[in-house]
A and B are shown apart, each in its own frame.
Chain A
Amino acid sequence: MLNRTFLLAVLLVLAAAGAQAQLTIDITTSGGRQIPIAIMPLAGESAQPQVVSEVVGADLARTGLFRLVNTLGVTPVPTEPSEVNFPDWTGRNAEALVIGKVEPLPEGRVEVRFRLFDVQKAAQLASFSYVVPPAQLRATAHRIADVIYEKLTGDKGVFSTKIAYVAKRGGRYELQVADADGYNPQSVLASREPIMSPSWSPDGSRIAYVSFDQQKPMVVVQNLAAGSTKIVANFRGNNSAPAWSPDGRTLAVALTKDGLTQVYRIPATGGTPQRLTEPAGDSMSTQPAFSPDGQWIAFTSDRGGSAQIYRMPASGGPPQRLTFEGSYNVGPRYSPDGKSIAFVQREGGRFRIASLELATGQVTVLTDGTLDDSPSFAPNGKMILYESQAGGRGQLAAVSGDGRVRQRLSSSAGDVQDPAWGPMPTN
């Protein structure tokens, strides 16, 4: 009985710690044009648990592509198109304007309405209404930000996506899933042993990762909704580096069951692995990644005498070398459009995230850390989330594909590492 009470107390403390361990995000941008947008407070929103307009503004500002225009002193607050004074907004140098309202409905739900205007043309660009429980107001704000982002930039927004990462506190490892802005971190797995290399299934329903729970690395697939887990690769030696095929049916993994590390394919539900890379000489191959069209698998190999990135047909075949400069180019990840590969490059003892444009072979170094690792593209391809170790502590950071916008995501407690950006929501 005493034990039960103690356990409950521990759980409460952990829950509190979890709430505090939310990620906070700092942004720096250099150069480039920012769209000036005015986001009015939505009428009635202050009575709700989430202030929708603030979440929308924070989402847009975090991309580095928008500048929030001061809305102070605008009275009365416009909530309908007829109340908008467009010349006033032109005078404030706003190019876009957002207005709206939040109204409680009888059965406890709320209705959120918003409108987006092109100030110059005095024209409405979008108008949406959502009926949701108050607890979902934050998610609704992300959906509104997605609409605005797409209307004004032409690209899909990723504000409603999730990220996964490994949090390390003391001797405890947690696989956490949070909103893309770092809010609502949920622990989906906790262990005293390391957790590595989380990878989202293409539909976002499962995460594959590497567990050391049996005192050696094995590949596990966890169903997020059910919480159920299945060991899909636990062969002799190491089992690691899971990567999903675009159809979600196959995992590429790195196994050592036949000697040094090689890349294999295995059904995502488990089964017999099929080796894809041949141990040329005394070489090893690891870190597979499927191309978005499912035709290729990029991977790291030292077959040429140093660690370089190669690709081969997804069913195996002769590898083709993709990186040539330097002696350490590892950990490839395809961009969602399949046109470039993000990877880890060592130069002068520093490890940084770089991008390889496949059509031209052009390599661009994107980050300036000393120990950057694990790049992961946002599903719209615009940002790359990665691990950045600073002062011996693991943090997450994100950089835009052109290196211009940088975000630092830090946790109040412990290390955060090995991030993976989830797919677009399916609904």
Chain B
Amino acid sequence: MNRIAACLAVALIAAGCASKEKQPDAAVTDRSAGTTQPSTATGQGSSSTTPRTTQPVTGNPLTDPNNVLSKRSVYFDYDSNAVKDEYRNMIQAHARYLGDNRNTNIRIEGNCDERGSREYNLALGQRRAEAVKRVMTVMGVGDNRIETVSYGEEKPKNPGHDEAAWAQNRRADIRYPGE
């Protein structure tokens, strides 16, 4: 029931809902996954390419670890593209940044865990990226400023084969130009 409620909540924001993708067996996996779900703090590993300077990085909010804009990853439940509430503030911050920086366009990259068919996972990953994009377009970001792509299961962040690894790989990353 919680899932349905969460899904409805997201639907209000995103005007799109993944309830039709839910699987009875997937729901079981998801609950056990809750404990190993990486926090958004771990998700910031994707911005580890941040250049290190001798001075504190106050100039660029996108790379300031104290700024919510440095967080880029949205994690998903198995076989789901529902954007969870906990990522709403972060996505909103990026939408606001794009509103303030009209010449900046972004890309959102969707990913899946290794289970399932490769090509179908490629499409599912793109659906995840598209779900994050929709949250932003509802917040007023122009549709043509966000390209969504997918790596499917081809570029796992964690190469492991257990639920902990899979949870890290069910993900959409927000990427700014040059990243």
Please list the residues of chain A having a beta carbon within 8 angstroms of any beta carbon in chain B.
194, 196-197, 210, 212, 215-217, 236-238, 240-241, 254, 256, 259-261, 282, 284, 286-287, 300, 302, 305-307, 327-328, 330-331, 344, 346, 348-349, 351, 371, 373-374, 389, 392, 417-418
Q: Is the CB of B116 within 8 A of A346?
A: yes
- The listed residue (A215, A238, A348, A371) touching B25 by CB distance below 8 A is A348
- Known interface pairs A212-B154, A392-B161. Does A236 touch B122 (Cβ–Cβ under 8 Å)? no
CB contact list, B129-149 vs A, under 8 A: 130, 147-149
Q: Is the CB of A307 within 8 A of B130?
A: no
Q: What's the minimum C-beta distance from A134 to chain B, rounded to whole angstroms?
A: 41
Q: What's the minimum C-beta distance from B79 to chain A, rounded to whole angstroms?
A: 8
30 A-B pairs whose Cβ atoms sit less than 8 Å apart in the complex? A196-B122, A196-B152, A210-B122, A215-B149, A236-B147, A238-B123, A240-B122, A241-B119, A241-B122, A254-B119, A254-B122, A254-B123, A256-B126, A256-B130, A260-B127, A261-B123, A282-B16, A282-B20, A286-B123, A287-B117, A302-B20, A307-B120, A328-B23, A330-B116, A330-B120, A348-B25, A349-B29, A371-B115, A374-B117, A374-B118
A22 to B126: give the CA distance in the assembly, Å.
35
A237 to B149: give the CA distance in the assembly, Å.
5
CB contact list, B8-62 vs A, under 8 A: 16-17, 20-21, 23, 25, 29
Q: Is the CB of A217 within 8 A of B122?
A: yes
- Chain B: interface secondary structure? mixed
A190 to B150: give the CA distance in the assembly, Å.
21
- The listed residue (B29, B114, B118, B130) touching A196 by CB distance below 8 A is B118
Contact of B155 with A by CB under 8 A: yes
- The listed residue (A217, A238, A327, A344) touching B117 by CB distance below 8 A is A344
Most buried by B among A194, A197, A217: A217
CB contact list, B149-167 vs A, under 8 A: 149-152, 154-155, 160-161
Q: Is the CB of A349 within 8 A of B151?
A: no
B-side contacts of A282, CB under 8 Å: 16-17, 20
Q: What's the minimum C-beta distance from B124 to chain A, rounded to whole angstroms?
A: 8
Q: Is the CB of B149 within 8 A of A217?
A: yes
Most buried by B among A240, A256, A306, A331: A256
A92 to B119: give the CA distance in the assembly, Å.
51
A-side contacts of B155, CB under 8 Å: 194, 212
Q: Is the CB of A237 within 8 A of B25?
A: no
Q: Is the CB of B120 within 8 A of A331?
A: yes
Q: Is the CB of A306 within 8 A of B21?
A: yes
B-side contacts of A305, CB under 8 Å: 20
Q: Is the CB of A286 within 8 A of B116?
A: no
A218 to B115: give the CA distance in the assembly, Å.
22
Q: What's the minimum C-beta distance from A228 to chain B, rounded to whole angstroms?
A: 25
Q: Which B-chain residue is minimally distant from A391 (CB atoms)?
A: B161
A194 to B154: give the CA distance in the assembly, Å.
6
A-side contacts of B23, CB under 8 Å: 306, 327-328
Q: Is the CB of B149 within 8 A of A216?
A: yes
Most buried by A among B20, B118, B152: B118
- The listed residue (A197, A237, A392) touching B118 by CB distance below 8 A is A197
Q: Which B-chain residue is minimally distant from A288 (CB atoms)?
A: B119
Q: Which A-chain residue is minimally distant from B120 (CB atoms)?
A: A330
Q: What's the minimum C-beta distance from A326 to chain B, rounded to whole angstroms?
A: 10
A-side contacts of B118, CB under 8 Å: 196-197, 373-374, 417-418
Q: Is the CB of A351 within 8 A of B25?
A: no
Closest CB pairs A-B (n = 5): A194-B154, A261-B123, A216-B149, A305-B20, A392-B161
Q: Is the CB of A196 within 8 A of B115?
A: no
B-side contacts of A236, CB under 8 Å: 147
